[in-house]
Amino acid sequence: MTRLAVFDCDGTLIDGQAAVCEAMRTGFATVGLPVPPDHDIRRIVGLSLPVAIRGLAPDAAPELVSQAVEAYRAAFFAMRQEGRVEEPLYDGIRELLEALRGNGWDLAVATGKSQRGADRALTTHGIADLFVSVQTADHHPSKPDPAMLQAAMDSVGAAPDHTVMIGDTAYDMAMARSAGVRAIGVGWGYHAPEELYAGGADEVADDPDHLEELLR
Q: How confident is the model at residue 45 (pLDDT cuts 50, 70, 90)?
A: confident
Mean of per-residue pLDDT scores for the chain: 95
Q: How many domains does the chain have?
A: 2
Residues 99, 182 within the same domain: yes
Together in a domain, 91 and 62: no
Q: Is the pLDDT of residue 2 over 90?
A: yes
Residues 106 and 208 in one domain: yes
CA distances to 43, 59, 78, 155 from 29, in Å: 19, 16, 15, 40
| Residues of the domain holding 44 | 17-81
- Judgement on whether residues 177 and 97 belong to the same structural domain of the protein: yes
What CATH number has the domain bearing residue 157? 3.40.50.1000
pTM, 2 dp: 0.87
pLDDT tens digits along 187-211: 999 999 999 999 999 999 999 999 9
176 and 72, same structural domain? no
DSSP state, 91?
Answer: T
Residue 197 and residue 105 in one domain:
yes
Supply the pLDDT for residue 19: 87
Confidence band (pLDDT; 50, 70, 90) for 125?
Answer: very high
pLDDT of residue 10: 93
CATH number of the CATH domain containing 24: 1.10.150.240
The percentage of the chain sitting over the pLDDT mark of 90, rounded to a whole number, equals 88
Residues 170 and 116 in one domain: yes
Q: Which residues are annotated as catalytic?
A: 8, 10
Do 79 and 25 form a contact (C-beta atoms < 8 A)? no
Same domain, 58 and 139: no
Residues 121 and 186 in one domain: yes
